[in-house]
Structure 1
Amino acid sequence: MNREKRAEIFRRLRDANPAPTTELTYSTPFELLVAVMLSAQATDRSVNAATARLFPVANTPEAILALGEEGVKQHIRTIGLYNSKAKNLIATCRQLVEQHGGEVPRTRQALEALPGVGRKTANVILNTAFGEPTLAVDTHIFRVANRTGLAPGRNVREVEDRLLRHVPREFLKDAHHWLILHGRYVCTARKPRCGACVIFDLCEFREKDKYAEA
């Protein structure tokens, strides 16, 4: 895919959604960190339901620590893997208090050193909380990048590196959200809604005509 086509893809995605953002509910960088940590193998809707119970009670590292692991579990038990997530959350809060003055760090190295925080979560925090031009490649972005021909890769890191290399600079800050939302609602896994796609003519998906007629 050439540079002009990539630029036009993001131009159209921007026109359709000028101010994209995460569907996770949060009001501080720490709340976003908690929400993203809880979102592994869970829907944003289920995470928002859990944090709606948790945040009014505890929405700072100190308050989470005071709640304790069992207390956290009581608020997040409706989402998958809640036992391990509660354990990681307590360990992360302890590290935030002891090493970062209770604040969410703004560097990748410090973020990835937190228990339960990997590269994808760090990228989300850097991009959404702090406005850094990073891309967190989840299953939606991986699918869209490969299916459309935008930035094909064999694994998430390969796709991330290619996107960072090929996405025009002016679109890089919001590219993460545009691609996730496109994959979640249009370029879906089993039955992509090609007939409703704003980048249909630019997409290099070989079977797009079949799905456009479905």
Structure 2
Amino acid sequence: MNKNKRIEILTRLRDDNPNPTTELNFSTPFELLVAVTLSAQATDVGVNKATDKLFPVANTPKKIFDLGVDGLKDYIKTIGLFNSKAQNVHKACAILLEQYPQLDLDQGEIPESREALEALPGVGRKTANVVLNTAFGWPTIAVDTHIFRVSNRTKLAMGKNVDLVEQKLLKVVPKAFKQDVHHWLILHGRYTCVARKPRCGACIIEDLCEFKEKTSD
């Protein structure tokens, strides 16, 4: 795909949604970190249902740590892989309490560092990218299954795995679009360029997309 076509695609996505953001409910960077950690192999809707009950009770490292692993499980047991997620979130809270006394953890502060975030249990590159982008405004691009599919299907940025797609997107997406491209692509993949049968007939970039097997939906 050539540069001009990429820019037109990104421009249309921007014009359609000038201020995109995550669909996860959160009010502090820490809440976002927990929500994104819980969202692995789960829907945002499912995570929100759990955190809408959890966060009014425990939304700081100290409060979640004090719940204990079993107490935390009671709030997130409707989410897939809740056993391992509860253990990871609880361990992450312990690390934050031990290693970052200089932060105002009671107000939801977390370290603004990729290295520090990825050192927390259950936090990989994708989760760190989401947190750095959404909470701190970094021009990171977290590639999940939706973004991987859209990038390859449209030929916006092709790659055999999520890391390669991320590298390609970082290379070809102009600076002016980098802050929000993660959200545009994930929402486009979630609601329009869906996995089984893309809704090409309702797509605002259909004429620019290089996917050959377009549908009339």
Q: TM-score range by the shorter chain?
A: over 0.9
Spell out, residue by residue over 1:88-113, the C-alpha distance to the aligned partner (whole angstroms, 9 max, x if none): 00100011111122331111111100
TM-score, normalised by the number of residues in structure 1: 0.97
Q: 1:39 maps to which residue?
A: 39
| Distance in 2 of aligned mates of 1:7 and 1:133 | 17
Q: 2:65 maps to which residue?
A: 65
Q: 2:7 maps to which residue?
A: 7
| Distance in 2 of aligned mates of 1:108 and 1:6 | 28
Gaps of 5+ in 1: none
| Distance in 2 of aligned mates of 1:82 and 1:53 | 15
Shift of residue 9, structure 1, vs aligned partner: 0.4
Structure 1 runs (4+) greater than 2 angstroms displaced: none
Matching of residues 136-175 of structure 1 within 5 Å = 136-175=142-181
Spell out, residue by residue over 1:26-85, the C-alpha distance to the aligned partner (whole angstroms, 9 max, x if none): 000000000001001111001000001100110000100111111101111111111101
| Distance in 2 of aligned mates of 1:75 and 1:199 | 40
Query: How many positions carry a matched residue from both structures?
Result: 211
Gaps of 5+ in 2: none
Q: 1:117 maps to which residue?
A: 123
Other structure's SS at 2:206 match: coil
Other structure's SS at 1:19 match: coil
Aligned residue identity for 2:40: A
Spell out, residue by residue over 1:138-163, the C-alpha distance to the aligned partner (whole angstroms, 9 max, x if none): 00000000000000000000000000
Matching of residues 48-63 of structure 1 within 5 Å = 48-63=48-63
Spell out, residue by residue over 1:107-150, the C-alpha distance to the aligned partner (whole angstroms, 9 max, x if none): 11111000110000000000000000000000000000000000
Q: 2:182 maps to which residue?
A: 176
Other structure's SS at 1:123 match: helix
